[in-house]
Amino acid sequence: MLERIAGTGDLPQMIATLASYDRIFGPISMQTLSVAALVGQTLAQSGENEIARRLLERVARDVIRAGVPAHPVRLTALASLRDLHLESGDLESAIAVQTELAGGWLAAAGSEAPQTVDAKARLASLLMSSASAPEA
């Protein structure tokens, strides 16, 4: 059902679903956090970057509280959060999030997994960009 809602871009319906899941399953259930990550991504796509950032940060934090720090929902939220930081020009925060993302993929899939290799390569690229950026 969530894929259908997300495909329509019906943000109010997605937010209502999130509120319902929060009441039914609780704020740190994986069902609620999955919907919250989807809402955060949709908010970011619609230009609501500050609200999206706060929601995605909550998802990343609460998945850890739920006891599954390398869960795909958290990794997806971190990737979206990294993109938001890059879009806003906050390279330092993007590097911090990418570091978490690389560690998450390492824990979830192992050192040789394509996702881990890609996450580490993106981290290296961000670090190189940071090193070559002019001092403010």
Domain containing residue 94: 2-132
Residue 107, pLDDT above cutoff 80: yes
Contact 104, 80 (CB under 8 A): no
* CATH number of residue 61's parent domain: 1.25.40.10
Contact 11, 42 (CB under 8 A): yes
Residue closest to 33 by CA, chosen among 3, 4, 71 = 71
pLDDT digits (tens, 9 = 90+) for 7-53: 546 999 999 999 999 999 999 999 999 999 999 999 999 999 999 99
Residue closest to 46 by CA, chosen among 71, 15, 17, 82 = 15
pLDDT digits (tens, 9 = 90+) for 58-98: 999 999 999 999 999 999 999 999 999 999 999 999 999 99
Those residues whose C-beta lies under 8 Å from the C-beta of residue 33, and which sit 6 or more positions away, are 59, 62, 63, 66, 73, 74
Domain count along the chain? 1
